[in-house]
Structure 1
Amino acid sequence: MSETRPRPTLYAVWLIVASVIGWWAAFQLTVEKFALLADPDASLSCDLSAFIQCGKNLESWQGSVFGFPNPILGLTGWMAPLVVGVAVLAGARFPRWFWALFGAGITFAFGFVCWLISQSIYELIVLCPWCMVTWAVTIPTFFATAVHLLRNGTISRSEKVRARAEKLMAWVPLATILAYAIIIAMAQAKGIDFLGEMAGLLF
């Protein structure tokens, strides 16, 4: 079943913006990984303090959980929402099975990011700047995609569900802010004074 509703322009634009930001973060992490491979004692540009740094994450087993550096997943994975966003903006209509697969991919990315957040805060006890950029765009992308799959009939064909989902999209920014707040609260509860660290670095 193909979409019959108006083109989701705002959602498409967000996919493009999120993909560019996410890809750039993955690229920067890849550059930092190359720097570590060339010189294990290298001082990385993202190593801002003992608690705000990329080095510890990149050198941990969590940083290569699939046998290769995690940033490679970002370099390749962010291409999917970028292509979908551009295609939708250009007027492309995708069948239900396509959106289901796309949603599965975004859900996997969200689940993986949630796991990385927990590992970063509770195991490594450090916050990686470029990782946080990735978290920052993955979370709202998941929320927006979940709502979009409800409103375009991928998850449910009920007109009532689709109509309610249309209104629910306006709440994605609030849900995102709440998610950010939870992450900051988790970090501070663990003893990582994120806000204090960032304020000290800025001022």
Structure 2
Amino acid sequence: MGVEEIVLLNAADEAVGTAPKATSHHRDTPYHLAFSCYVVDTEGRVLITRRALGKRTFPGVWTGSCCGHPGPGEGLREAILRRLQDELGIPDAILRAAPVTPVLPGFQYRAVADDGTVEHERCPVARVAVPSGTPVRPNPEEVEAAEWWTWERCLDLVDRPESSPWYRLQLAELAPLGPPSGWPDAGTAPLPPALTW
């Protein structure tokens, strides 16, 4: 497997280069492209995950279903499906049939971990709809735990210190939209210039 690279951005969210992911997250992390997604089943439950304890950034925090970094030239939908398979082991056949909807295509944030490590990302947020009973097999190097939660429990997590900072910021925008099965499609026009759908 080659070195995983992140896409570096300027203030206009245009791609200005790449850098190795493994060495790019530190106290002066460059602004770069990322994504978050929420996997929602037909019962309206959300797949919530706890990041692996060995993760370089924000280990052990509870957050949405999956987050990651689109590679150079990779579209958002493809990056989401790739990471859902890599991190959570969701079968490819289910993912290929899953509707993926941009819900917060303009989201961006900056957060500082307790150890001083910075995340600074343009991070579009999407919903992925899957059937109830979809199998999940977390990769222990990425995910400590993965659980199907009610929307009410997701809302409760916002006020708990073990939630990720980007989760709290995203939920501030998602909560007014109501339960995730009804989140509207925000379209792809607001995606950053560096990212295709």
Q: TM-score per shorter chain, which class?
A: under 0.3
Structure with the higher fraction of residues in helix conformation? 1
Structure with the higher fraction of residues in strand conformation? 2
Structure of larger gyration radius: 1
- Give the structure-1-normalised TM-score: 0.23
